[in-house]
């Protein structure tokens, strides 16, 4: 059974506070994008795993952890043949791991007729990773809590997206560890949501608290943002903890000048669109 595991961008992120359990309270706008890994899982006599990116299949692998979580909860004995084709870069802020885990949850749910709702799957998924609940739904949403409160909404218009990633990635754990909540930006997420719903201007209201950490870890992110704005593109931001920068574009908008310029400088430049479901 094959599932497309779509990546995501964070159109804005406000990290509100740190919790006693080590997680952070967040308020953010997340959107699935038409860049995806392909997850193929079938019931088999013997467990097997293949990935074009040579990722190990152990406790460090989110797919493994999601399947074993379901195995523990529902006590099934089935083994699986798992094939993963990675297209989403790692340490990019695009949920490349989380979306694969979410796809695995959806597939096992169908293969074994567990009959769990997407809401139930998302509740289970948050035990593995904070981005998994959103990735289970794969819909534009305001996301709160540690990532477990997912509130889908409809966009007024469609957007294309240009993704630009420097060579160096960002370790999400480190990004949160060095985050200073008194010094980082705190965008108004309600304003961003209403602008998206009403097709209002986004200039000046987009923001990401984790830019504070990125400045210390991958200063190139700021170079990319500055270069985009110097070329006349205003709706530019880093997604997640980085290191990918995205440019929001009108559907069909020509950005060949920017694309050509960025491809000469950075290893990953990809045009896609926000997924509307």
From the list 27, 37, 100, 131, the catalytic residue is: 131
From the list 8, 86, 139, 193, the catalytic residue is: 8
CA atoms within 13 A of residue 1's CA, in its CB half-sphere: 15
As a whole number of angstroms, the distance between CA 180 and CA 182 comes to 5
Q: Which two tokens stand for residue 111?
A: 């293969």
As a whole number of angstroms, the distance between CA 196 and CA 198 comes to 6
Instruction: Please identify which residue in the block is written with the tokens 């949501």.
Output: 193
Determine contact, residues 89/268, Cβ cutoff 8 Å. yes
The angle at the Cα of 208, spanning 252 to 246, to the nearest 5 degrees, equals 25
Reduce the DSSP state of residue 160 to 3 states and report it.
strand
Q: Residues 92, 98, 99, 104: what is their CA dihedral angle, to the nearest 10 degrees? A: 150
As a whole number of angstroms, the distance between CA 264 and CA 260 comes to 7
8 a catalytic residue: yes
148 a catalytic residue: no
Q: Which two tokens stand for residue 264?
A: 């000469």
Instruction: Please identify which residue in the block is written with the tokens 């909860």.
Output: 73
Catalytic residues: 8, 131
């Amino acid at each position: 059974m094959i599932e497309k595991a779509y990546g995501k961008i964070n159109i804005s992120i406000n990290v509100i506070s740190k919790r006693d359990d080590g997680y952070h309270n967040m308020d953010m706008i997340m959107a699935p994008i038409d860049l995806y890994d392909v997850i193929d899982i079938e019931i088999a006599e013997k467990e097997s795993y293949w990935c074009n990116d040579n990722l190990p299949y152990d406790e460090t692998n989110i797919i493994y952890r999601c399947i074993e979580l379901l195995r523990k909860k529902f006590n099934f004995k089935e083994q699986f043949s798992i094939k993963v084709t990675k297209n989403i870069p790692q340490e990019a802020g695009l949920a490349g791991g989380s979306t694969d885990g979410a796809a695995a949850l959806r597939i096992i749910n169908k293969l074994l007729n567990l009959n769990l709702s997407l809401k139930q799957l998302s509740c289970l998924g948050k035990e593995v990773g904070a981005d998994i609940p959103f990735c289970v739904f794969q819909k534009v949403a305001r996301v709160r809590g540690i990532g477990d409160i997912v509130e889908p909404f409809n966009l007024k218009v469609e957007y294309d997206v240009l993704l630009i990633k420097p060579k160096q990635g960002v370790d999400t754990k480190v990004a949160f560890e060095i985050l200073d909540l008194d010094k980082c930006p705190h965008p108004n997420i309600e304003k961003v949501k209403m602008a998206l719903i009403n097709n209002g201007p986004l200039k000046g209201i987009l923001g990401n608290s984790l830019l504070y950490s990125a400045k210390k870890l991958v200063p190139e992110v700021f170079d990319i943002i500055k270069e985009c704005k110097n070329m006349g593109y205003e709706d530019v931001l880093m997604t997640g903890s980085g290191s990918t920068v995205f440019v929001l574009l009108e559907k069909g908008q020509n950005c060949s000048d920017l694309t050509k310029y960025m491809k000469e400088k950075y290893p990953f430049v990809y045009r896609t669109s926000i997924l509307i479901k």
